[in-house]
A and B are shown apart, each in its own frame.
Chain A
Amino acid sequence: MSTLRIALVGNPNCGKTALFNLLTGSRQKVANYAGVTVERKSGRLTTPSGRTLEVLDLPGAYSLTAASPDEEITRDVCLGRLSGEQQPDAIVCVADATNLRLHLRFVLELRYLGLPMILALNMSDSAMKRDIRVDRNILEKELGIPVVETVAVHRGGASSLVSQFDRDLPEPALALPEGADLHAEVNRILEAAVSMPSRTAKMDDAIDRVVLHPVWGLAILALVMFFMFQAVFAWAAPFMDLIDAGIGAIGTFVGDALPDGPLRGLLVEGIIAGVGSVIIFLPQILILFLFILVLEESGYLPRAAFLLDRMMVGAGLTGRSFIPLLSSVACAIPGIMAARTIQDPRDRLSTILVAPLMTCSARLPVYTLLIAAFVPQQTVLGVFNLGGVVLFGLYVAGTFFALAAAYVMKRLRRTSEDHALLLELPSYRVPNPRDIAIGLWDRARIFIVRVGKIILSITVVLWVLSSYPVPPADWGGTAIDYSLAGRIGHSVEWIFAPIGFNWQICIALIPGLAAREVAVSALGTVYAISAASDDAASQLLPIISSQWSLATGLSLLAWYVFAPQCLATLATMHRETNSWGVVATALIYLFGLAYIASFITYQIAVALT
Chain B
Amino acid sequence: MFEVASKESERLADLPLGSVATVDCVHQSVPEDPIAKRLRDLGFVSGEPVRIVAAGPIGGDPLLVQVGFTRFALRQGEARRVMVHRALPHTE
Q: Point out residues on A near B: beta carbons under 8 Å.
A: 62-63, 65, 67, 98-102, 105, 183, 196, 199-200, 208, 212, 214-215, 217-218, 302, 305-307, 309-311, 313, 418, 420-425
Sampled A-B contacts (26; CB under 8 Å): A65-B34, A65-B38, A98-B69, A99-B68, A102-B42, A102-B70, A105-B43, A183-B48, A199-B66, A199-B68, A199-B69, A305-B73, A307-B56, A309-B62, A310-B56, A310-B62, A418-B29, A418-B75, A418-B78, A420-B38, A420-B75, A420-B78, A422-B72, A422-B78, A423-B72, A424-B73
Partner of B73, one of A67, A98, A215, A306: A306
Which chain B residues border A215 with CB–CB below 8 Å? 57
Q: Mark B31-44, 1 if CB is under 8 A from A, else 0.
A: 00011011101110
Q: Is B15 close to A, CB under 8 A? A: no
Q: Which of these, B41, B48, B69, B71, contacts A425 with CB under 8 Å?
A: B71
- Pairwise interchain contact B66-A306, C-beta atoms closer than 8 A: no
Contact of B68 among A62, A101, A214 (CB under 8 A): A101
What string of 1s and 0s marks CB contacts (under 8 Å) between B58-77 and chain A? 11011010101111111101
What is the number of residues of chain B that contact chain A, defined by CB distance less than 8 Å?
A: 32
**Least Cβ distance of A182 to chain B in Å?**
9
Q: Are A422 and B39 in contact (CB under 8 A)?
A: yes
Contacts of B5 in A (CB 8 A): none
B55: min CB distance to chain A, Å: 8
Does B72 lie within 8 Å of A418, measured CB to CB?
A: no
Q: A309-B56, A422-B38 are in contact. Are A101 and B78 (CB under 8 A)?
A: no
- Asked, given contacts A307-B57, A309-B62, A310-B61, whether A302 binds B42 with beta carbons under 8 Å apart, the answer is no
Do A420 and B35 touch across chains, with their CB atoms under 8 A apart? yes
Query: How many pairs, one residue from A and one from B, have CB atoms within 8 Å of each other in the complex?
Result: 104
Q: Is the CB of B45 closer than 8 A to any CB of chain A? A: yes
Closest to B37 in A: A65
- For A199, the chain B residues whose CB sits under 8 A away are 66, 68-69
Shortest beta-carbon distance from B61 to chain A in Å: 5
B61 / chain A contacts, CB cutoff of 8 Å: 309-310
Q: A102-B68, A200-B69, A423-B72 are in contact. Are A62 and B57 (CB under 8 A)?
A: no
Inter-chain contacts of B75 with A (CB < 8 A): 309, 313, 418, 420-421
Contact A62 B42 (CB under 8 A): yes
Measured between beta carbons, the chain B residues less than 8 angstroms from A200 are: 66, 69, 71
Q: Give the docked Cα–Cα distance between A102 and B78 (Å).
A: 18
Report A-chain residues with C-beta under 8 Å of the C-beta of B70: 99, 101-102, 424
Closest 3 CB pairs of A and B: A101-B68, A214-B57, A310-B58
Find chain A residues with CB under 8 A from B53 CB: 208, 212
Q: Do A105 and B56 have beta carbons less than 8 Å apart?
A: no
Contacting pair A218 B78 (CB below 8 A): no
**In the complex, what residues of B have CB within 8 A of residue A101's CB?**
43, 68-70
Contacting A311 at CB < 8 Å: which of B35, B58, B68, B77? B58
Contact with A421, one of B37, B58, B62, B66 (Cβ below 8 angstroms): B62
Whole-angstrom distance between the alpha carbons of A348 and B75 in the complex? Answer: 18
Within the complex, the shortest CB–CB distance from A455 to chain B, in Å, comes to: 38
Give the chain A neighbours of B42 by CB distance below 8 A. Answer: 62, 102, 422
Contact partner, A212, options B39, B43, B45, B54, Cβ 8 Å: B54
Q: Is the CB of A424 within 8 A of B72?
A: yes
A311 CA to B45 CA in the complex, in Å? 30
A306 lies within 8 A of B43 (CB): no
Q: How far is A418 from B30 in the complex, measured between Cα atoms in Å? A: 11
A306 near B62 with CB under 8 A, answer: yes
| CA distance in complex: A155, B66 (Å) | 33
Tell me which residues across on chain B come within 8 A of A99, comparing CB atoms: 68-70
CA distance in complex: A217, B56 (Å): 10
Given contact pairs A310-B56, A311-B58, A423-B62, enumerate 13 new A-B contacts (beta carbons under 8 Å). Answer: A62-B41, A67-B38, A99-B69, A101-B69, A102-B43, A102-B70, A183-B48, A199-B68, A214-B55, A310-B61, A418-B75, A420-B78, A422-B39
- Least CB distance from B46 to A in Å reads 9
Taking CB atoms, residues of chain B closer than 8 Å to A305 are 73
Identify A306's interface contact among B34, B35, B56, CB under 8 A.
B56
B37 contacts which chain A residues (CB < 8 A)?
A: 65
Chain A residues with CB under 8 A of B72: 422-425
Q: Bound complex: CA of A310 vs CA of B45, how far in Å?
A: 26
Alpha-carbon distance A196/B68, docked complex (angstroms) = 12
